[in-house]
Amino acid sequence: MITIDAIQGLRAQVDAWRRGGNVALVPTMGNLHDGHLALVQAARPLADRVVASVFVNPLQFGAGEDFDSYPRTPERDAELLESQGADLLFAPAVELMYPKSCEEQTRVEVPGVSTLLCGVTRPQHFVGVATVVCKLFNMVQPDLAFFGKKDFQQLMVIRQMVDDLAMPIRVIGVDTRREPDGLAMSSRNAYLTPEQRTIAPILYRVLTGLAEILRSGSSDYAGLQSQAVRELNESGFCTDYVAIRRAADLLEPVPDEGELVVLAAVHLGQARLIDNIEVSR
């Protein structure tokens, strides 16, 4: 695996590879776990070359959030990516990605979907996500790009950006990887104390129960959401939201909507956890 931290070298290598096949990009913020590695595994059979990026993006962190303390494990990340068959690791510095500073950086804003759910409590988060992903797409110019479904809203933001800006990139969502007790794998799980770690899987259990009720035919969306919030708060979480939305656009569903997604964001100690379950009925 080649490791590159400069745009010129990245473009030269990817251009050479593109003459003989297609290229996939797996963007990450590092501190890799099996959920990240699943993206490389999904890309491997569909692409001739796989580029993975590791960049902790300051533009998507709000004031008082965990940019400075976000876990960084560069040597281990490189070893894991190489073990999964990644061909190139792009690991740029902040100064390379934002040479004029974050404040002066041109930004990409995806309207509509960015303002819902996590966009309410983290109003600039998806601007930062869209901006850095747009920059990575321009730098790598991949044919395919792989993102985890754990952040369902982020996946929709990126898909809308690609569609609206006519980017010739196929965006592929990969199913959430979970611990044996159901907790969605996340770099921020490392913030959980042993006691909090025993509580954290309740989030998945609550969402699973809500999804089963929806599959049985219930359309009492408001009541189900309120009940789930109560259960989570009583279990020790501080809940940002539990939302039942249309899977196509994250808007409020009508009664008997066929394709739904149940989403939640909660705080547990220092960790902000997100999860979702898709529901077809």
Confidence of residue 164 (pLDDT cuts 50, 70, 90): very high
Confidence of residue 3 (pLDDT cuts 50, 70, 90): very high
Q: Does the residue 13 lie in any domain? A: yes
Selection from 145, 144, 161 nearest residue 153 by Cα: 161
Q: Does the residue 280 lie in any domain? A: no
Give the model confidence (pLDDT) of 235-261 as tens digits. Answer: 999 999 999 999 999 999 999 999 999
Ranges 22-26, 67-71, 133-137, 207-211: which has the least confidence: 67-71
- Residue 264 confidence (pLDDT): 98
- Residue 67 confidence (pLDDT): 95
Confidence of residue 117 (pLDDT cuts 50, 70, 90): very high
Selection from 10, 160, 169 nearest residue 96 by Cα: 10
- Residue 175 confidence (pLDDT): 97
Give the model confidence (pLDDT) of 147-162 as tens digits. Answer: 999 999 999 999 999 9
Q: What mean pLDDT comes out for the span 11-28?
A: 96
138 and 251, same domain (yes or no): no
Cα 206 from Cα 217, distance rounded (Å):
17
Q: What mean pLDDT comes out for the span 209-220?
A: 97
169 and 191, same domain (yes or no): no
Mean pLDDT score of the chain? 97
23 and 100, same domain (yes or no): yes
Query: Which residue among the candidates 33, 36, 125, 267 is catalytic per the annotation?
Result: 36
59 and 80, same domain (yes or no): yes
Q: Does the residue 181 lie in any domain? A: no
Q: Does the residue 279 lie in any domain? A: no
The enclosing domain of 193 has a CATH number of 3.30.1300.10
- Residue 267 confidence (pLDDT): 98
Q: Does the residue 72 lie in any domain? A: yes
DSSP string, 235-277: HT-EEEEEEEEETTTSPPPPTT-SEEEEEEEEEETTEEEEEEE
- Residue 79 confidence (pLDDT): 98
Domain closes at, from 131, 151, 174: 174
Catalytic residue flag (residue 125): no
Domain closes at, from 174, 203, 224: 174
Q: How many domains does the chain have?
A: 2
161 and 210, same domain (yes or no): no
Q: Does the residue 278 lie in any domain? A: no
Which residues contact residue 171 at a Cβ distance below 8 angstroms, ignoring those fewer than 6 apart?
A: 144, 145, 147, 155, 158, 159, 162
45 and 153, same domain (yes or no): yes
Name the residue range of residue 241's domain: 187-273
Domain closes at, from 149, 174, 199: 174
Q: What mean pLDDT comes out for the span 54-76?
A: 95
Query: How large a percentage of the chain has pLDDT more than 70?
Result: 100
Q: Does the residue 180 lie in any domain? A: no
DSSP, collapsed to helix, strand or coil, labels residue 122 as: coil
- Residue 78 confidence (pLDDT): 98
